[in-house]
Amino acid sequence: MRVIILGGTGLIGQEFTTALLNEGHQVWVLSRNPQTRQVPTGAAVVSWDGHTSQGWEGLVELSDAVVNLAGENLGEGRWSKTRKERIRSSRTDAGLAVVSAFQAASRKPKVLLQASAIGFYGASDDRGLNEESVAGNEFQSSICLDWEASTQAVENMGVRRVIIRTGLVLTAKGGVLPRLMLPFRLFLGGPLGSGQQWYSWIAMQDEIRAMMYLLKNEQSAGVYNLTSPEPLKMADFGKVLATVMHRPYWLPVPAFALRALLGEMSLLVLSGQKVVPQKLLREGFQFQFSSLKAALENILH
């Protein structure tokens, strides 16, 4: 299989590129920095301006699949008005570039894997959310709505489009887990805010396995939640993390302190949603790590 990846230098993109290469697939990674060292050995790096299809549209005719993971990280810096606009445009510009490239191709790839996030659903209570649940009305929700809509046009071209709404991806290499672990390393771990917010997580191994399954399975289309079947409330998540790290769990961090420190971005840790991967389970996908304890032990030991 010949695959183009936008956002291939990110945390998930690097892991997915490696997985594709290990299976013998040919991979082109689009990057605004062609000299980047963040691309796994074996993948071809193609220069990209981050906004248009110029310079890579010709590759689309040669490819079998496109994976669009492009988008600025929400968790790096406060959400100022300028940064919010940049977060949104980094996603929508990439999506529109994909559509433009598909439109220009006489031979179109068979499938587009389009990234999104469970932030689509907004903050929720104890109700379980599946792929049929409606969007929330928060900043993250509006970002995901625009992100998903940016590539919808390829479906009218006969392309199978799969939208992956990803939860908290757990890996020691980056993302949310090292940040959650830091206070525990300092023996200062405890619940964040009320501790009653739901954390819908997924081990990196299962994230990559699910993406590979959805890329290859010609019957899979539409929206899929990429989360473990066993979400946990933050207080329970923290207790498991403390147990695996052999650290105490005692010092709560009040919500007002996180809001003062992070501003609106505190929503990433203070709010949550109980999301279930209903469609993956219905199709018989087997998670390697459904249990948080097993996932963390695998990551940290």
Is residue 190 domain-resident?
no
Structural domains in the chain (count) = 1
DSSP string, 141-199: HHHHHHHHHTTGGGGGGT-EEEEEEE-EEE-TTSTHHHHHHHHHHTT----BTTS-SEE
The set of residues, in sequence order, having a beta carbon less than 8 Å from that of 140 and lying 6+ positions away, is 74, 117, 119, 120, 122, 267
Is residue 209 domain-resident?
yes
- pLDDT block averages, 10 residues each, the chain of length 301: 95 97 97 82 93 92 97 80 91 96 96 97 91 94 96 98 96 90 91 92 98 98 98 95 96 81 71 94 97 97 87
| pLDDT score of 167 | 95
| pLDDT score of 264 | 67
Is residue 234 domain-resident?
no
| pLDDT score of 124 | 86
| pLDDT score of 104 | 95
Is residue 54 domain-resident?
yes
The set of residues, in sequence order, having a beta carbon less than 8 Å from that of 286 and lying 6+ positions away, is none
Is residue 217 domain-resident?
yes
| pLDDT score of 257 | 78
Is residue 145 domain-resident?
yes
Is residue 18 domain-resident?
yes
Residues spanned by the domain of 80: 2-171+200-228+274-288
| pLDDT score of 78 | 77
The set of residues, in sequence order, having a beta carbon less than 8 Å from that of 163 and lying 6+ positions away, is 114, 115, 116, 148, 222, 223, 224
**Please, is 126 exposed, middle or buried when counting C-beta atoms within 10 Å of its C-beta (0-12, 13-18, 19+)?**
exposed
Distances (CA, A) of 28 to 108, 175, 185, 221: 16, 24, 39, 23
For the domain that residue 279 is a member of, what is the CATH number?
Answer: 3.40.50.720
Is residue 259 domain-resident?
no
**Please, is 26 exposed, middle or buried when counting C-beta atoms within 10 Å of its C-beta (0-12, 13-18, 19+)?**
middle
